[in-house]
Every structure is written in C-alpha cells, then in structure tokens.
Structure 1
C-alpha cells in the first residue's frame, strides 16, 4: 500500500489548523505551566540626581475682613423670630409704618431670596380686604400682589360683582416670594402672621376674604378649603369682629375651571354682604 506522505502531511496540517493549533512544538512534550518565568531585566541605575533649588515659599495671603464680604443676615431661631415679629407689628401705628417695619425685618429667611417686599395693593380702608398666600414670580418682579395670571383672573372676578382694585385692599400671608413658588412652610407663615394680622387691624375692612387654604388656615384656623369655602366665619381683631369667608384660589380655578361655579356663588355672597 503506497501512502502519499506529502498529501498526508498536508491533510494533517489542515486538521491542526482547523482545530486551532497555531504553533509547532518539539517531539518531546513541553510543560509550559511549570516553566520558570524569565527573571526580569535589571533596571538601570538611576543617574545621580541633580540638586534642585529649594522650593519657594508661597506669598502670604492677606486676610480679608468678614465685614467687607457681602452676606445675608442670619435669621434668628423661629420662636425668637415670632416674638420679634409680634412686638414689631404691634408698634406700627399706620400701614405705611407697618410697611417700613416689615421691610427692615430680617426674621424670615424668605427675604434673602426674594427681589423685593410685596406688601399690598388697592386702597387702604376699603370695605373688602382679600388675603392670599404668597407672591409668585411676577409679583416678586413688580412688588404687588396678584398681578400674574391668577391676579388677572381675580381682577375679572371682582369686576363681575362691580369691584376693582381701587375699591378693595389686597395682601398676602407671606410678603416675600418662596423659592420656586413653593407653598410657605408653617414656620415661615407663623413668623409673618403677626404682620398681616396687624395689617387687617389697620385696614379695618367690613368683609375679609381668605383666598386659598394657606391663608384660610392661618387666619381662620380651619382646614379644608373645599368644605369651608363660601361659609361665613368670625375674625376677631381684638377691637371688633369682622365677617370672613374662605374662597378658592384663582390659581386653582385656572387648573380646574369647573370650580368657577363655586367661586361665582361666593362672589355673590360677598356682594350681598357688602350691600
């Protein structure tokens, strides 16, 4: 039997190639796992280091006095801020004096992030006073309450019963805009509450309307704007009793127009109370 060794070798190499063999070994087996690793080449000796000059010490930094750095006033603890607010509010003999006192009051941290004080709008001494929650972005820019989209709707609501801003007085529980138009915290509300209470006393309206739950809860101490809106409450100033009614906030009415029918009922009740 003749064997074509050349062809057999080619076939064997083809088999090895298909099997993944890519290196030719010797005839004797070689245990690559037990082979000693070659010793690493000796690292060349470093050249003698040149003497470098001593590092220069940095120039002394001049201390900056903290008195020339701009910083916001640190508000006092909440309890102390409330007591200070009560004393400051009681000392105001007029709305103009109250505004000046409030503008210099540093007990509420909201003042540090607001552009300006939003005190009031309308005519002091009006028979109808409305108290909302807190200024928004547009109110913060103009320094007047209810001048954004909610305020525009409020103007139309007042016009529906024959009123405008010259015949009412408008304020907020909190006179500074909270960051991001968020709801004022209970602490922030309690700190600012003495000022709006004094504002109501000095304005002395015949009818007080609390707009939205925050002002309703703070001034009338009732929770649940939907179940309490349209109801008459008694607000005591210390010298007289004022009729008070909670009403849905215009911002809520913009989101839920179906609530406008309830607001219309409340407006008619307010018109009737004003005679």
Structure 2
C-alpha cells in the first residue's frame, strides 16, 4: 500500500487519536482517552483516576519487635528468723518467708514445747500427714507410738516437728531451697533446745548429720548445736519400716540407745 491512499490513511488515524484526546506522545497526567465525554463537557478537565492506598504493613513478630529494657529484679537478702520462741512458732504458721512453706497451702506445724526431753524431727510431712493435717498420722503414726513406748516415753512429752512445714513435690528439694532449709534447721534446733534428738528419715539425717542412714545404725550422733552437743540417734521413717519390715532391726539398734541413763 502506498501513494495517496497511504497518506489519507495516516491522516485518518491521526484525526481519530486527536478526537480521542491524544495530542501528545507523553503527558504529565494519565488521560482516559477511551472514555467518551458528553458533548457539553468536552472542554471540562478530565478527572484523575483514584489510586488505592497501599495496604498497611503487617506488624513484626514479637521476637523481632523492640524490647523494653528489663527492669532489674531486686535481690532479697536471707530470710531473718525470729529469735523468740513464741514469735518463731507464729512465724512458722503465718509468714510467706518460711522456707518450704510454698509447696502446699496447708502447713503442718510443730507440736510441743521448748526444752523437751526428746525432739522428734523429720524433713517434711508425708503425704498422709499433709492430708490429715498432723505429723506422723495413720498407721505410720501408730508404729511411731509403739517405738516410743519401747523406750518408755510417749509422744505428748516430746517436741514433734518437721523441718519444712509442707511437703515438696516428689519429696525432694535442692538448690537455694535446700540451702534455706539448712539455715532454718540449725535455728530451729537452737530455739527448741531439746535434751535429746531423734532424726526420723534419711532426708533429715543427710541434712543434720551429713550421713547416710545405714551409716548411723547403732550410733550416738553428737550434733553440734549452738556451741554444745545434743545426743542424737537416727532411724528410718515409720512409713518406710512398714514398707520394709527388715529395716526394723536397724531402727531398734539405734532407738534403744535413747534408753541409756533412764
């Protein structure tokens, strides 16, 4: 195709684009050249297309967000134990600072008075004790009473206590909790000031005598207490003796030593 026909075709195309509103190859603003305006609006300015706002960026995951500087945690010093007997007993019953009071809502408190002829001390209540609200309850308590009767004494003249006033989960504690209980042990013994001491159970034997229970069989353990020594023997817990009757002979070998001088 060429000649005058080509020129006419080019002129026709140019006229069409002019009618469509295209009068430049590049303009400052986009033009809706395919939109037909009404005849009376031919000279009106063409509206600019609406541009949708960009969507807000999703928040960063928490781990990537700016973290506030941690506030320093106030370090608490060692718990101060009351020095007066009555204040100490009230503190054991009510204070949140008592080591070993955090393990259970129900506290099992000591029974008896200071300067008792014999102090019965275990590490913490047994499950039955926690349930019944008293130390050495149930059949284990009945066996303990028989053991005391064999050395010609009764529970009501003894000072009966557990080092911790509640029972730890699994019957075990360590670390800082054990360290605080160790401090409490020696403070409690100093205030109780018993004539003699019966350690009941392997846990309290480790704490007070730094020995394993089998090593204490038939021995007097002189526990250093406040510059003096308190005559001490150690036996397995009555609950353990019920489960393992063969250990009763070892318990009697130690228990009968408390008959000396009576």
Shorter chain as denominator, the TM-score bin is 0.5 to 0.7
Distance in 1 (alpha carbons) for counterparts of 2:164 and 2:104: 11
Match of 1:173 among 163, 166, 170: 163
1:252 to 2:243 alignment: no
CA contact (8 A) 2:224 2:230 kept: yes
Structure 1 105/230 Cα, relative in aligned 2: closer, same or farther at 3 Å? farther
C-alpha contact (below 8 Å) 1:150/1:251 kept by paired residues: yes
- Structure 1 residues 148 and 189: CA distance shift in structure 2, 3 A: farther
* Aligned match of 1:106: 97
Q: Residue 134 of structure 1 aligns with which residue? A: 124
122 and 101 in structure 1: CA distance in 2 versus 1, 3 angstrom threshold: closer
**Corresponding pairs, count:** 189
Q: Is the 8 A contact 1:205 1:242 kept in 2?
A: yes
Counterpart CA distance in 2 for 1:125 and 1:201 is: 10
Aligned partners of 2:98 and 2:192: how far apart in 1? 24
Indicate whether 1:233 and 2:221 are aligned.
Answer: yes
Q: What is the rounded CA distance, in whole Å, between the counterparts of 2:235 and 2:97 in structure 1?
A: 31
Give distance in 1, aligned partners of 2:228 and 2:98: 29
Cα separation, 2, equivalents of 1:186 and 1:171: 23
Q: Give 5+ residue unaligned stretches, structure 2.
A: 1-72
Q: Residue 84 of structure 1 is aligned with which of 78, 82, 87?
A: 78
Q: How many Å separate the matches in 2 of 1:226 and 1:269?
A: 16
- 2:205 maps to 216
1:199 aligned partner: 188
Q: Deviations over 1:222-264 (max 9, x none)?
A: 2x21122321122122242211222222122111111112222
Check conservation: 1:174, 1:189, Cα contact below 8 A: no
Matched residue, 2:12 = none
Q: How much does 1:168 deviate?
A: 1.1
Cα distance between partner residues in 2 of 1:173 and 1:107: 10
Is 2:142 the partner of 1:152? yes
Q: What's the C-alpha RMSD, in Å, of the aligned pairs?
A: 2.5
State the secondary structure of the residue aligned to 1:163. coil
1:188/1:99 CA distance change after superposition, 3 Å: same
CA contact (8 A) 1:225 1:247 kept: yes
Structure 1: gaps spanning 5 or more residues:
1-75
The answer as to whether partners of 2:96 and 2:102 remain within 8 angstroms in 1 is: no
Could you tell me the TM-score, scaled by structure 2's length? 0.64
What CA distance in whole angstroms lies between the structure 2 residues aligned with 1:153 and 1:146?
9
Greater radius of gyration (CA): 2
Q: Distance in 2 between matches of 1:149 and 1:185?
A: 29
Q: Secondary structure at the match of 2:260?
A: helix
